[in-house]
Amino acid sequence: MMNKAKQLLVDGEPAIGCESSSGSPWSAGLLAKAGYDWVLVDTQHGLWELDDLRTAVVAVTSAGSTPMARVQENRFGLIGRLLDDGMLGVVVPMVNTADDARAAVLATRYPPLGGRSNGPTYLAEMHGDNYFDNSNEQVFLAVQIESVEAVENAEKIMSVEGVDGCWIGPSDLALSMGLGFADIGTHKRHNEAIAHVLDICDRLGKIPGYSCTGLEDGQRRLSEGFQFVSVGEDSEFVHAGAVTTLNSLRT
C-alpha cells in the first residue's frame, strides 16, 4: 500500500490536486487522468451520492492519482465510512481547537493512535493486502484552518499527533475576520494569519496546505512554501473552458 501524494509531501515536495464537486465519477476520473497528484471528492459542498463516490474512488485510483475526500463534518462515522470506501486522504472542515483535531485523529487512525473501527470494504483493500498494517502511516489527514479561532489555536491543533497537515480555507477565514472575498490574499490581517499558520507548520514539521482560487494563486502559494495545494474544481474548469472557446469563436 502506497499513498503517492502523501509520499511526495513527506519527501518535502508539493502535491498538487484539485476538487471534484460535480458528483460525476467520470469528471473525477478525468481530473486524475490529467495528472493531478490527488483528486478531492467534496462531500461537504459537492453533489456526491454514495454509489457515485465509490465509483469515483475506482476511477481516480485507476488513473494513477490519490483519491481523497472532504467530509461533511468532523464526525466519527462519516470519516470512517469514506476511508472504508477507499479514500487515502481526508480533509476535515472547521477544525477550531485541539479537541476538534483529536476527534479527527480518533476517526482516521486505527488503535492505538486512534479509534477507527476495523472493517474496510473491498474498495479500501484494493490499495493493497497490507492495508490494515499500513493505513495509519499512509492515510493523509488534513484539518481545515478556516476561522480566527483556528488561527489562534493553530499551534495546539497542529501539535496533535496523527494530524499530518492543514488545508487553509481562505474564503471562510476571510468571512470569520469580517472581511470580504475581495480581501482574500490582499488584506494585511488575512495575509498575516496565513503566514502565521505556515510558520507553525514549518516549525512543527507538519504539511502546510492551501485551497487556491486559481492558477496565479496556486503559483503564489507554492512559492511561499505550501505543499498540499489545490487549484480549482471540475465545474470551474468546465465553465472556464466553455467560456474561453465560445468567446474566441465570437471575436
Residues marked as catalytic:
45
* 83, 89, 95, 101 alpha-carbon torsion, rounded to 10°: 70
Closest by CA to 187, choosing from 197, 198, 175, 202, is: 175
Q: Are 184 and 170 in contact (CB under 8 A)?
A: yes
* The three three-digit cell numbers of residue 148, written as one number: 480566527
DSSP 72: S
* 234, 235, 236, 242 alpha-carbon torsion, rounded to 10°: 110
Cα four-point dihedral sign 96, 98, 101, 107 = negative
Distance CA 165, CA 24 (A): 28
